[in-house]
Chain A
Amino acid sequence: MRGTLWSAARIDRELTLLQDCSFFKYSGHEKYSGHELVAGLLRIRGTIVSKEAETGRIQSLRVRIEYPRSYPRKEPEIFDDEKRFIPSARGHQFKDYRLCLSFPERREFTLGSETLSQEVLKASLIWLDKRNIFERTTKWPGEAEEHNWSGPYRELLREEVRRCRSSSVSAWADWVIAELVAPNFEGRCPCLSGRPFLECHLRLCSLAAQYLLYRCYEEELNEHRTAIKAA
């Protein structure tokens, strides 16, 4: 068995970092302690608390922070520990009560940073505020990704195309998205630089591939579901 990644000193340091976020109250629960090591992986429990400025309403949620083995190269996951909200895609929560804070490929958190858990916790505070609004209005406030895999990849691809500022890349991307044509990784880059695609605009290439992969997968899945329903 691998030795634990979390020494007592490291846990203390992590707890100190989290307590810098004054909206997070580190606390145990009648069944669990405030933190525990499960198979060498750290779990921290506490409550996110804030007050709505206009109504004085206190909004709080008991959360569980689960650190991955590869932390801080991968962000920790935050769970609705009291299972208060009903998981749903529109409510941005997975079936295992994990908060869906961000599309992984978007890389919104500073991976590798020492304060990564703080960053994730701050995003959780906003998630809680938005979720409470969603519970009352049934509309998720602010920007959100599409509720599938291909949609966010398509959006990222378009953002990457905008960054390229090349009309030929833009035309190429439109063609790929509309016709579902697999990019030729061996060929020349669509930016017309003359260089191989993989050496020139690697991210563009990878995003297009991911988009097509998931798009095809989702279409197949839909067909399969329709067939089951019809049967």
Chain B
Amino acid sequence: MRINGAWHLCDDDRVRPVVTGEIAAADGNRQQVTFLLDIGADRTVLSADILRSSGLAFTASPDRLGGVGGTVDAVTVDTQIVFLREDGGTAVFKGRFAAFTDPKALDMSVLGRDITNLFAVIVDRPQDIVCMLGQRHRYVIQER
């Protein structure tokens, strides 16, 4: 399985690795979500703009989420995240995800290690590659 991402120019002129999926919104429609591919993040977190524009019901979370700026209250949502595989198929992750309610808390949803631990993650800026490999796909490191 190979899920491709891309390098994306962000608002601070930095280029970051992202991968796009979709979630099921409250009205039955789907919502496109671009995730920062963050191998340092313990959990996948939906940003507030995604949570609030999707209308998904949420519950208070007993867990707070911590970062460099300290800890922040979060909520949890039950939803599914669907990614497009390179072969045209899909990878669907169903479960409970954290989310923020304040847009200022996080500008972009984060794909964390609850999902990325299932893959080999390649974020290769010199070669312009962002992808997640699993199942039958492997990578090889070799000296040129």
The judgment on whether A and B are partners is no
| B residues at A contact (CB < 8 Å) | none
| A residues at B contact (CB < 8 Å) | none
